Structures are given as C-alpha cells and as structure tokens.
Structure 1
Amino acid sequence: MPSSFFEFLTAAVGQSPLEWAAVLTGFACVWLAARESLWNFPIAIFSCALYVVVYYRAQLYSDSLLQTLFIGLSVYGWYEWLYGGRSKTPLVVTRTRPIEWLVCGLFVAAFTLGFGYYLQRHTDAALPHWDSFTTATSLAAQYLLMRKRLENWWLWIVVDIIYVPILWYKELYPTSALYALYLVLASYGYWQWRKSMKKEELPMKL
C-alpha cells in the first residue's frame, strides 16, 4: 500500500508542467465565472490553449477539439457579458428558456452519437462516446454560461461528475482532481448566480 501510494504521488507530481499550468488557470477561470467576473474569459482562453495540447497527448481528441472551440466561445462570451443585454447593456442572470433546453438536448444527443461513432471507427480515441458526450454537454453549458443562464451550472455538474473518473483512468491526476474541485465551484456558482438573479428581480417586482 505505501509503495502504491508513493507511485501514485510520484506520477501525479511528475505530470507535465503544462498540465499543472492548465489546472491552475482552469481553476481560476471557473472561480471568476462563479463570481461573475469578466476576467474569467481571458484566463479561460489561456487555460484552454494549454489543454488543447494536454488532451491531445492523452488521446482525448474530442476534448482537445473542445478546447479550441472554447477559445472562440470565450471571446464571444466576453462580448456578450459586456454588451449582450438590452440596449447594449451588460447581461444579467436569467433562467434558461424551454427552446434553449430543446436545442441543447438535441445537440448533445446528435453530437454524442455522430462524433462518437466517427472517433470509434477512425481514430484510436480512448473513450469515444463518453468523450463525445462530455464535449457536447460542455459546449451546451458554455453556451448557457455565455448567455448568463442560471442552469449552466447544472450541466457543468453533470460534466464534472463524468470527467473525474475518465481523467483518472487516463492518468491525468492533477486534472482529475481539478474537476473534483469544479464540482464544488459549480455548486457555489449556482448559489451565487441564483442570489444575483433574485437581486435583479427585486426592483422589477417593486
């Protein structure tokens, strides 16, 4: 047991400095998003650029692709948070509309089946369908986050629960631990955004 623990600790600490940099910036950007800080976007762009390489090396190709998409979405989300409200005002937290749930659900199902099949047949992807599902759900969650929809945190919680064992299986121990922390941050983000939404609704009721 001590030997196994020592081997695990050596493997975790000995991971690429690139992964550790991605882990630390990834944690920072989610914390800032939970606090509704615009700084989450530039830090997210930097973190995602690092994870493009980290996931590609781990043969998680769908997740590597996801990071490139996140970079573009973060630029768009940055603009939306600043000017996406009424009359080019900053966005406020609102609930997800039924049509958005429908579109997100259809997208996740189609992407998981389609891209998962492609990865299974044409690449050496480690977990093609799970990889595709987490990618699709993350994209849906990111879209809702860009529009400041409260329920984006629900989707992140689902994704984080799945990512923890997948990343552990691929021996990306620091990143697996990061996603365990993301679970806590996602719960905190939901609580913080819900409180913010109620503050915005109060003047309207008065």
Structure 2
Amino acid sequence: MQPIFDFFFDQYSGYPTLFIILEIIAVIFGFLSVWYSKQNNILVYPTGIVSTIIFVYLLWQWQLLGDMMINAYYFSMSIYGWYIWTRKVDPEHYTPITSTTKKEQIQSVFIFLGTLLFVFAVYEYFEKWNNWTAYVDTVTTAIFFVGMWLMAKRKIENWIYWIIGDIISVPLYFYKGLTFTSLQYLVFTIIAIYGYKAWKKNLRNDLRPA
C-alpha cells in the first residue's frame, strides 16, 4: 500500500503545507463548480471564482503560465457568465440552453486559434519551451478557452470541449506532479459526460411545443 501512496503523493514531499491545503480547497470548489454546471445552477460561478483565484496564485508560484492563464481567463469569464445566466430574455425567462449558431462555431475556431497564438507568444517571451508539456499546455488552454466561452453563453457544445480538455489534463497534471488536480480532472471528465447528457435533455424539453 505504501508504494502506491508514494507513487501518487511523493511529489508533495517538498511542497509547503500551505500550497497543499490551498490546492485541496481549490479542487473541492472546482468539483462544486462543475457539479453546479451539470445541474444548470447559477452557483457554478461563485464556486468557480473561488477555485480559479486560488489556482491562479498556485500556478504562478509553480511557474505554470499556460495553466495560470486558463484560470485567470476562467475568473473573468465567470463574471461574464454570471451576468449572462441571470439576464432575462423576457419578463419570465432567463437565458436558455441552446446550440451554437454557425456564427458562434466560426467564433469558436477564431478563439481557439487566437488562444494558441497568444499562449505561444507568452511561452516564447518567457522562454518556457523547456518541456514537452508546454506544447500540450497551448492546446489545452485553447480548448478550455472555447469551452468556458461557450458555457458562459449557455451553449450545449461547451461540454464537448470540457470533455476533450479534461481527458488530456488527467495524465498531464499527474506528470507535472499535481496529483490532486489530476484526480480532479478525472472526476471532471465523468461529470462533463453526464453534464452533456443533462443539458441535452434540458434542450430537448425546451424545444418541445407547449
């Protein structure tokens, strides 16, 4: 049992206790945020904001710039999403779950490509191309940027981007030595799959004639 424990958590032996506690808190609030998103509950945003603020601090300390930018972007988009989700489209209804339009699909492509170029420039400027994970970071950052934008607009396709990004992130974060975060993304993947199914059911119900 001890070798298994060491395999998963030995990388924390040199971490300050504060960092470990903060990561656990951020992971817990991250779980809550994704769960509330699956439930189509507005609490996705306040819980997500707590998680992202902590991760921005931790990832800056660990010099994981791509991951830090993801969470900084999550924070700003959480504020935007909070506003969109509470905005009424008429006197009785809030912004509903919908599918992306052709225009939004094109915008998603531009956000993805623009993010790739931006993150590449940041890594180039700070000379962070010292590990193969940096290249994967640029891709996952772009995937999550699109996913967060679509979630803020309450588009069902956001879950597809989350699922793809989460699957990539599970082994990536474990390799980086962030075991708790890796496990978080594993659970995120499972929740995202159920979230897509739940939102799809919700969308179908909304499309049914009254």
TM-score (norm 2): 0.87
Pair 146,158 (structure 1): closer, same or farther in 2 beyond 3 Å: same
1:45 matches 2:40: no
Q: Is the 1:161–1:183 contact (alpha carbons within 8 Å) kept by the matching residues of 2?
A: yes
Report the Cα offset of residue 23 of structure 1: 0.5
Residue type of the partner of 1:153? W
Select which of 130, 133, 153 maps to 2:159: 153
Pair 43,6 (structure 1): closer, same or farther in 2 beyond 3 Å: closer
Q: Is the 2:23–2:181 contact (alpha carbons within 8 Å) kept by the matching residues of 1?
A: yes
1:133 matches 2:139: yes
Aligned counterpart, 1:173: 179
Matched residues in 2 for 1:149 and 1:10: separation?
A: 37
Provide the aligned C-alpha RMSD in A. 2.1
Q: Is the 1:94–1:197 contact (alpha carbons within 8 Å) kept by the matching residues of 2?
A: yes
Report the Cα offset of residue 3 of structure 1: 5.6
Report the Cα offset of residue 33 of structure 1: 0.6
Aligned counterpart, 2:62: 58
Structure 1 stretch displaced more, 63-72 or 17-26: 63-72
Query: Once the two structures are aligned, what percentage of the paired residues are identical?
Result: 27
Structure 1 stretch displaced more, 58-67 or 107-116: 107-116
Tell me, what secondary structure is at the counterpart of 2:86?
helix
Q: Is the 2:87–2:94 contact (alpha carbons within 8 Å) kept by the matching residues of 1?
A: yes
Report the Cα offset of residue 103 of structure 1: 1.5
Report the Cα offset of residue 85 of structure 1: 2.8
Pair 12,109 (structure 1): closer, same or farther in 2 beyond 3 Å: same
Aligned counterpart, 2:27: 23
Q: Is the 1:116–1:128 contact (alpha carbons within 8 Å) kept by the matching residues of 2?
A: no
Q: Is the 2:144–2:165 contact (alpha carbons within 8 Å) kept by the matching residues of 1?
A: yes
Matched residues in 1 for 2:135 and 2:111: separation?
A: 14
Q: Which runs of 5+ in 1 are unaligned?
A: none
Aligned counterpart, 1:124: 128
Residue type of the partner of 2:65? Y
Aligned counterpart, 1:198: 204
Q: Give the number of equivalent residue pairs.
A: 203
